[in-house]
Amino acid sequence: MTEPGFPLLTSLVVVPVVGALLVALVPRSRPEIARLVGVATSAVVGALSIWMLTQFDRHDGDFQFTAQYKWIERLGISWHVGIDGISLFLVVLTAVLFPIALAGVKPHHDTKSYTAWLLVLEAGCMGVFVALDLFLFFVMFEIVLVPMYFLIGGWGYGERVHAATKFFLFTMFGSAFMLVGIVATAWLHQRASGGPITFDLVTIAQSQSIAATSARWLFVSFAIAFAVKVPLFPLHTWLPDAHTQAPTAGSVILAGVMLKLGTYGFLRFGLYLFPAAAVWAAPVLVTLAVIGITYGAVVAAVQRDLKRLVAYSSVAHLGFIVLGTFALTNQGLTGGVLQMINHGVSTGALFLLVGMIYERRHTRMISELGGLQRPAPLLAGAFMVVMLSSIGLPLLNGFVGEYLILLGSFATRRWWTVVAAAGVILAAVYLLWAYQRVFHGEPDEANASMPDLNWGEGLILAPLLAAIIFIGVYPKPVLERIEPSVERLVAHVEEHSSYRQPIPPLPTPPNATGSSSSGDGKGGGE
Amino acid sequence: MIAVVESIPTPPVAWSALVPILAFTGAALLLLLVSALTPRRLPRGTYAVVTVLASAVAMGGAVGTWLQVTDTAKGPYTVISGALTIDGFTAFLTVVIAAGLALSALLADGTLRRQGVHGPEPYVLLLLSASGGLVMAMANDLIVLFLGLEVLSISLYVLAGMNARRSASRESAMKYFVLGAFSSAFLLYGIALTYGATGSTNLTSIHNFLAADLPQKEGLLLAGFALLLVGLGFKVSAAPFHVWTPDVYQGAPTPITAFMASVSKAAAFGALLRVFVVTFSGYNADWQPLIAALAVLTLLVGALFAIVQDDVKRMMAYSSIGHAGFILVGVQLASQQGTSSALFYLIAYTFLVVGSFGVIAVVGGDDEGHHPLSDYRGLSSRRPGLALTFTVLLLAQAGVPLTSGFLAKFYVIGAAVQAGTYWLAVVAMLSAVIAAFLYLRIVVAMYMADPEDATDEPAAGPARRPTARLAIGVRVAVGLALAFTLVVGILPDRVVGWADDAVPVLTTVRH
């Protein structure tokens, strides 16, 4: 564990808050200054996260950059932050997507409040990913609702108020169970261990002192909250509304960052906190994940609204991540974590592109678009790369993640994997079909005059496209940072349950499980 | 002193412990006297300032009491022959009541004058009512409790009808009076039955009697419990005794509503905690299910009826019922944690509710006839600061983190979990989710209702009602409520500690 003198992770949360306050001080008549402050602040956070990435010790699976400050001492609540390989890239993703969303999309009115809310949202998302205290995690998990609620409700489209309210209430419904679960976890841990009450994640997870049956109930209470956030199949209905009605930046952040709060929660507060209960619940979650994969794909295929189509594709993609997570193998989990990043990059980029099309044509209806390739070849090209990454074409990032997930889950969940693999084909069906209808063919009059990407938009998209290709071709730098933590987590699960990871299906040299999955990843890229 | 107590006919009075009550009654009498003797009207705001000063004195007295009773050498004690208990609980509730009184008086200064209600009467009645509340919170005897309740209530009946030119205000007063008298009768009958079963009205004696031997007339005792619960349940507006709340809250002048929702509720909860959790602690198994049922019903009524209202004041009335449900969960647990969580909830809620009604008073303007939700449309562009403040207060009531409202819910849930009543914790949280819809409806009206309004520059924004400058009292009251909500929401350690140490005790062991 490195002990940096500079409170890096804390500053990742605090800097956006300070930025939001600065934005709030800007007079309403100078929106361009507010925007500048917003972009600059989020760029600072982005730079900090890149610096953190270079300082991260890739051989260490434990939490790094940890810091702990007293907060509510009477209840054993502290500001405890730290990251490991699982959260590292989610933090970087958050830090990179926010400046892109802020700089890439201009709001139509009230720039000042819009920018301030986005910065508050960034602080909240960061907080979720770095929190190592149950209470702190809950606070951050819950606080992100407020800025997102205002962003959807204030700057969204048509049914925005309905969508925002639905989003808020759905998530709060799940959180209601989690709050009870968190309090019960801390209390039962105190009773079992006899020490003072604490909400510290690491302490509680390492001691594993809660009785098995109680742990199952607690896991369920957490799982409900995360299943809403992911969203898993029967609880997903808020997602299409929220994503479709949100302003473009909101959709980018929703899909890119906020959906990961659920899957990340499953890893950190499901598997790590309640390993035995997670093994017990895995069949149900894997089944729901597979239902989500096929259901999301089928429903996406029949959408007439391009943005809604992308939204439903998220249901399918997040299903893959949950499948990989609860496959409980090194490869599955590594693939799941990588796929969180991939989905954030690809779907974030897709929503940006859909937003750009909407700005030009003022419609998202697939039937009203057509032949856009002719007037906007660059946009079409960018869209194609992103779409192919989303489908999972080799040499692009989506393939590495999905391949690892399927490889990992095949060892433990063979038939589920078979169904999920069919979902990959369905993804190709709906995305290729959508691409064909939107970009191919003869453009009508309105479509023919659509301008292509300008320089600014190109610059905004460039980092995302670069990430898509880089991870697709050479995933090793990413995977080798994720793996130590994933192996540690799986070992933690094995230590505290009767579950044993099956021997990796591929012939690998003995005593080198770590290198085996990175080898797989590389194999996927080549 | 212990030796001579028997021979002196009048009990010794520890005046220092009664500073809060004396401050309130003294200030009330002073206001009456001065305004009767001076021919001209006093300068604006004098009455409110005097009320606030009296509250400050009361808080000072409470701090003195606190230092005294938390000193291990001294500890809690009773005064006036065991009529009033002086303990940390008393001190804590004194602060809550004084805060509620001061904030309500500040609101009243800003709004009542504009409605044509001049003179010292509202403030005198507020002070007297609050002194009754103090007596309720301190009472160590059921008869004294009843006296406190009546002083509190009778002043409130008049206050509710303060704006006599408005029929809604008169109707509100009448309803409150008739139903309140009814509930007082229940309480009195409950006191009588408890006396019949235990042979005393003194809480310490009752507790000792119940601990020592089984009362022969257990049916009588249980009926006494039930009737006491009805009487106090009416005051805290627990369902199904809540039906007066929306009408009375809506009809009464808004500052008075704020007072009712904060001080009157705090006092009644104080009495409920002292009587049931402390005195009847041996009979937990009998009354806990009753209060649990009340709590669930109150939570659900508060949440479900709130979301179908169209009048903001009625919404807040139902939301205050929902909050009472949460506090009842804390009471129901009959544990130290439960009591502390109820106390923390009370102090957080007091600031929230007075702040919220302060905003409602501003938006309602001068006529105060009704407060339709449509009045709030586009408030964010007309008065951005006020809209943001109200949003924070509403989200705090909904239980969004980093506010005192969230921590209040967190402690209640924590106490419920520690007592093992998970189901109650889940029901409470789910009702909070339903109630959140209500708060979001108001936020939607303020921020998202009129997109064309929202785009307008605030300076040139169309004003549906003339946006007069906010009175200084309202500014201070709402500002304090907002500051408390956020500061305690982010750094709650100190207040939590106070609530933890402020458990009520029966001074069975005399020091």
Looking up tokens 């627990």 gives B238
Q: Is A510 exposed, middle or buried (0-12, 13-18, 19+ CB in 10 A)?
A: exposed
Q: Does B395 touch chain A (CB under 8 A)?
A: yes
Tokens coding A399: 């393939």
pTM summary value: 0.90
Q: Please tell me the distance in Å from B440's CA to the nearest CA on chain A.
A: 7
What does the pLDDT look like over A335-373, one tens digit per residue?
999 999 999 999 999 999 998 888 888 888 888 888 888
- In angstroms, the CA A290 to CA A292 distance is 5
Q: Does A351 touch chain B (CB under 8 A)?
A: no
Alpha-helix residue ranges (DSSP H) falling in A56-84: none
**Rg of chain B in Å (alpha carbons):** 22
Chain B residues closer than 8 Å to A213 by CB = none
Q: Does B417 touch chain A (CB under 8 A)?
A: yes
Residue B85's SS3 state is strand
Q: Please tell me the distance in Å from A237's CA to the nearest CA on chain B.
A: 17
What does the pLDDT look like over B62-119, one tens digit per residue?
999 888 888 777 778 888 778 888 888 999 999 999 999 999 999 988 787 777 777 8
Is the predicted pLDDT of residue B455 greater than 50, yes or no?
Answer: no
Run of H or E residues at A83? strand A77-83
Q: At B496, which amino acid appears?
A: V
What does the pLDDT look like over B142-164, one tens digit per residue?
999 999 999 999 999 999 888 77
Q: How confident is the model at residue B366 (pLDDT cuts 50, 70, 90)?
A: low
**B447, closest residue in chain A (CA to CA):** A154
Question: Which of B 431-460 lie inside 8 A of A, CB atoms?
Answer: 432-433, 436-437, 440, 444, 447-448, 454-455, 457-458
**DSSP letters for A459-514:** HHHHHHHHHHHHHHH--HHHHHHHHHHHHHHHHHHHHTSS--PPPPSS---TT-HH
Q: Does A197 touch chain B (CB under 8 A)?
A: no
Residue B241's SS3 state is coil
Q: Please tell me the distance in Å from A463's CA to the nearest CA on chain B.
A: 33
Chain B residues closer than 8 Å to A21 by CB = none
Q: Please tell me the distance in Å from B405's CA to the nearest CA on chain A.
A: 13
Q: Mean pLDDT throughout B42-59? A: 90
The pLDDT of residue B340: 92
Q: Does B402 touch chain A (CB under 8 A)?
A: yes
Q: With contact defined as beta carbons under 8 Å apart, do B235 and B265 qualify?
A: yes
- In angstroms, the CA B23 to CA B33 distance is 15
The pLDDT of residue A505: 52
Q: Does the beta-carbon distance from A180 to B497 stay under 8 Å?
A: no
How many CA atoms within 13 Å lie on the side-chain side of B139? Answer: 28
Is the predicted pLDDT of residue B506 greater than 80, yes or no?
Answer: no
- In angstroms, the CA B28 to CA B105 distance is 13
Whether residue B240 is preceded by a cis peptide bond, meaning omega within 30 degrees of 0, is yes
- In angstroms, the CA B297 to CA B239 distance is 6
> Digits of tens for pLDDT over chain A (526 positions)?
445 577 888 889 999 999 999 988 888 888 888 888 989 999 999 999 999 988 888 888 888 888 888 888 888 899 999 999 899 999 999 999 999 988 888 888 888 888 999 999 999 999 999 999 999 999 999 999 999 999 998 888 888 888 998 999 999 999 999 999 999 999 999 888 888 888 999 888 888 888 888 899 999 999 999 999 988 888 888 888 888 888 888 899 998 899 999 999 999 998 999 999 999 999 999 999 999 999 999 999 888 888 899 889 988 999 999 999 998 888 899 999 999 999 999 999 999 999 888 888 888 888 888 888 888 888 899 999 999 999 888 888 888 989 899 988 888 888 888 888 888 888 888 889 888 888 888 888 877 788 888 888 888 899 999 999 999 999 988 998 999 999 999 989 888 888 888 865 555 544 544 444 444 444 333 3
- In angstroms, the CA B159 to CA B164 distance is 10
Q: Does B388 touch chain A (CB under 8 A)?
A: no
Residue A272 DSSP class: T
Q: With contact defined as beta carbons under 8 Å apart, do B373 and B440 qualify?
A: no
- In angstroms, the CA B61 to CA B58 distance is 5
Chain A residues closer than 8 Å to B398 by CB = 172
Pick A161's closest partner by Cβ from B410, B433, B444. B444
Q: Does the beta-carbon distance from B417 to A168 stay under 8 Å?
A: no
Counting one residue from chain A and one from chain B, the pairs whose CB atoms sit within 8 A come to 87
**B391, closest residue in chain A (CA to CA):** A146
Q: How confident is the model at residue B239 (pLDDT cuts 50, 70, 90)?
A: confident
Bridge partners of residue B164, in order along the sequence: none
What does the pLDDT look like over B159-186, one tens digit per residue?
988 877 778 888 888 999 999 999 999 9
Which of B433, B452, B490, B491 is the best residue to mutate to test the A interface, defined by the most A CB atoms within 10 Å of its own CB?
A: B433
Sign of the torsion angle spanned by Cα atoms A354, A355, A361, A362: positive
Nearest to A8 by CA among A81, A95, A108, A99: A81
Q: With contact defined as beta carbons under 8 Å apart, do B159 and B256 qualify?
A: yes
The pLDDT of residue A59: 84
Q: Does the beta-carbon distance from A169 to B413 stay under 8 Å?
A: no
Nearest to A203 by CA among A264, A139, A273: A273
Question: Which of A 133-152 lie inside 8 A of B, CB atoms?
Answer: 138-140, 142-143, 145-146, 149-150
Indicate the Cα dihedral angle B124, B127, B131, B136, nearest 10°. Answer: 110
- In angstroms, the CA B104 to CA B133 distance is 14
Q: How far is CA A193 from the centre of its chain?
A: 34
Q: At B276, which amino acid appears?
A: F
Pick A180's closest partner by Cβ from B402, B406, B417. B417
Chain B residues closer than 8 Å to A154 by CB = 447-448, 454
This complex has an ipTM of 0.88
Q: How confident is the model at residue B487 (pLDDT cuts 50, 70, 90)?
A: very high
**B448, closest residue in chain A (CA to CA):** A154
Which of A25, A28, A172, A190 is the best residue to mutate to test the B interface, defined by the most B CB atoms within 10 Å of its own CB?
A: A172
Pick B413's closest partner by Cβ from A29, A165, A183. A183
